[in-house]
Amino acid sequence: MATTPLTGVEITELATGLNRLARNLWWTWDQSAQDLFQELSPRGWQNLYHNAVAVLHEVSDYELRVRLQDPEFAGRVRQVLDRFEAYLRRTDTWAARHAPQLVHRPVAYFSAEFGFHETLPIAAGGLGVLAGDHAKSASDLGLAFVGVSLFYREGYFMQSFNPENWQTEYYSLLDPRNLPMEPVLDPRGEPLVGTVRIAAATVAFRAWRVNVGRCPVYLLDTDLPENEPHYRDLTARVYGGDSTTRIMQEILLGVGGVRLLRQLGYQPAVFHLNEGHAAFLTLELIREKLAAGLTFTEAQAATRAECLFTTHTPVEAGHDRFSSDLMQYCAHKFCTQLKLTHDELMGLGRVHPDDPNEPFCMTVLALRHSRAANAVSELHGRVSRQMWHPLYPDRPVEQVPIGHITNGVHLLGWMKGRVRKFWRDRVHKAVANGHGVLAQTAHLYVDEANTPEFWAALADPATASDEEIWALRYQLRRELIEFTRRRLLLQGEHLTRTAFIEYDHLLNPDALTIGFARRFATYKRAALLFQHFDQIVALAKDRRRPVQFIFAGKAHPRDQEGKRLLQHIRHLAQHTALRGHLVFIENYDMHVARQMVSGCDVWLNTPRRPLEASGTSGMKAAINGCLNLSILDGWWREGYDGTNGFAIGNDSHPDSIEEQDRRDADNLLRVLSEEVIPCFYNRDAAGVPRQWIKRIRRAWVTLVPRFNTWRMVQEYTTRYYLPPEPA
């Protein structure tokens, strides 16, 4: 094939384009874009933890130009960049059709954490990952959306263990130059600086912009020389420090966030408070309105009309409460600004405003100043209405104004690379053969792939045979096991001279592999599985039908109970009959999550009902053909239909915690030994577990089109973001 070499100008254009691409997280959910960075430096890709910006720093400008002289590579770069530009410019979007008001005036989404990708570890868990997925889908749908959060320079902690298996935490410094973010500059090209009054100080902040497809997310950062050291460190860590740090971070997020948006010229149509952490933004909105001449009551009403609040947990400790003293010390400036007495200010965050013993609760502040509020699953809605009923004493509990929108996950972000390629090839083939539904959608990269028809067509045996799906599942399990071997070798557990050989034989690529990975909060009951220890050992060691377990997760640095659970699980893995059948991967993050939810056969979830407000990792599992085995709590209570996974117990729970734990442990063992293991090992003459694969197909058809953030953001938009219809 004759090809003309590229001109110097063309090469410069492509190199610039690649640099721009690396600084937009769009590449994290586009397989061909990701392939380009991986190909530029395969080893760097791995060592730099899939950081496209860092890979481009690793490759010299000269090397990049040389590589782009290869017309084949340059051609693929051009294709990806064209698609990227088309994505950014697309005007025929879902939002243009269904919410034209929100194409120009944005939704401002405030969240104390955002989980976008493993290279930017500024999330502690599910709440942040949900926020990141929300932003990605808002971009896909063409919604004007702007996110606000903090830049945690030391990120969320890294996990290690001392010889007693007690979790210890350490932190590494993030370097903005090596991250997919850009400084926000003022018109003179200097970093834009804003200020917020916290305690007795005027704290300065700057901001970084993360590009999430079409949507910017701004991260506030107080690490500026003009601040006292104490305030320079304010944004150092995700949920670091004590409640003083907490309240100061939240004042910065709420007040600083609104000020930053104003400095940048934003007039958002809606302020969406993702959890109560951001609720101080309502006080800043009231202040603005007072300054414009409104009375306090008018300003409060106008603020309510602009705000939407999502509550994320029925666990009491998950709701920030600040003492009167702490408020007096840190937040007294609100009193001057809003012309309130301290007691009046406290009253805004109290269920009973006049009760001097009640602390200031961010959830109460948020509920009082939002035109609508929602929980994140149906059951969580019911529990939340009960929980906040005292705030609405003159209504029956069913009429407490908290609705629900069940969470989702960003489909392409959570589809493992291998699975993306699997479908891409098959969809292309089906399109070439004129397959109706698939031909209309043509690829997985648009929001139409969100329909039940599309997933029914994908799950059709004509698109992918049982044998192909089983081979895919085998590849995914092997990739996970090889990843786990590498990780355990690096973790250096029981290192011996023959370590490499030993680690090459760790875990069994043919065995039913059960995964459990999440924050080690007590209510998630990580050890429930091992309640019937001897029976679990017998199941694991069954030579004909072996089972193995992979665990991961972090406990909050101050959660002693969570750390005890971790210690227990690691002890089982190292010193009991489960050794070799149970392993623990350290440093759970989005990358580990992606490996586990795709490579495991079964995703185990054992929360104490009804404390798992929604849960999202099981949705990620479903996308990749890993079946859920879960308590009927949160999303699974809505998703499970008897054919698409496995349920532990039924849609009820006893009042007594002891009774609940006992019953759930019994049911778990029973379902595992009577349903899950037989179904997995029931192979036909060709060696294929037909019934198992049938369940995978059912999960694709029934779960994936519902439990994704395209559906979720569409629901937020039509039910909450659009201005209420005039009555």
Ligand X SMILES: *Cc1c(COP(=O)(O)O)cnc(C)c1O
Q: Which residues form the interface with ligand X (CB under 6 A)?
A: 125-126, 129, 518, 588-590, 593, 615-617, 620
Secondary structure string (H, E, C) spanning 380-411: HHHHHHHHCHHHCCCCCHHHCCCEECCCCECC
Of 622, 626, 552, the closest CA to residue 592 belongs to 552
Give the integer Cα–Cα distance in Å for 611 and 312.
10
Nearer to ligand X, 350 or 518 (CB): 518
Nearer CB in complex with ligand X: 106/607? 607
Burial of 278 (0-12, 13-18, 19+ CB in 10 A): buried
Tell me how far, at minimum, the Cβ of 375 lies from ligand X, in Å.
Answer: 14
Cα separation, 370 vs 720, whole angstroms:
11
| 19 and 61 Cβ atoms separated by less than 8 Å | no
Q: In this structure, is the dihedral angle defined by the CA atoms of residues 36, 39, 41 and 45, taken in order, positive or negative?
A: positive
Torsion of CA 309, 314, 315, 320, to 10 degrees: 20
Question: Closest by alpha carbon to 611, among 403, 400, 380, 409?
Answer: 380
Q: How far is the CB of 102 from ligand X (least distance, A)?
A: 27
CA 27 to centroid of chain Cα atoms? 17
Q: Amino acid identity of 397?
A: V
List, in sequence order, every beta strand (DSSP E) within 658-709: none
Nearer to ligand X, 365 or 517 (CB): 517
Phi, psi of 550 (to 5 degrees): -120, 125
Nearer to ligand X, 299 or 593 (CB): 593
- DSSP for residue 448: G
Closest CA to 405 of 94, 713, 721: 713
Nearer to ligand X, 372 or 592 (CB): 592
**Minimum CB–partner distance for residue 62 and ligand X (Å):** 38
Report the residue number, 211 or 617, with the smaller CB distance to ligand X.
Answer: 617
Shortest distance, position 134 Cβ to ligand X, whole Å: 13
Least separation in angstroms between residue 553's CB and ligand X is 8
Q: Nearest distance from residue 36's CB to ligand X, in Å?
A: 25
CB of 650 to ligand X, least distance (A): 21
**Shortest Cβ 348–ligand X spacing (Å):** 31
Q: Based on CB atoms, which residue is closest to ligand X, 52 or 590? A: 590
For the CA atoms of 606, 117, 415, 644, the dihedral, rounded to the nearest 10 degrees, stands at 20
Pairing of strands 167-170, 158-161: antiparallel
For the CB of residue 123, give the shortest distance to ligand X in the complex, in Å. 7
Sign of CA dihedral 518, 519, 525, 526: positive
- Helix, strand, or coil (residue 515): strand
In sequence order, the 6+-apart residues with CB closer than 8 A to the CB of 430 are: 438, 439, 457, 462, 463
Question: Of 617, 574, 566, which Cα lies nearest the Cα of 596?
Answer: 617
- Identify which of residues 131 and 582 has a Cβ nearer to ligand X in the complex: 131
Peptide bond into 610 cis (omega under 30): yes
By beta-carbon proximity to ligand X, the closer residue of 22 and 585 is 585
Closer residue to ligand X in complex, CB, 206/518: 518
Q: Which CB sits closer to ligand X, 130 or 402?
A: 130
Are the C-beta atoms of 402 and 375 separated by less than 8 Å?
yes
The CB-of-222 to ligand X minimum distance in angstroms stands at 26
Residue 329: CB minimum distance to ligand X, A: 33
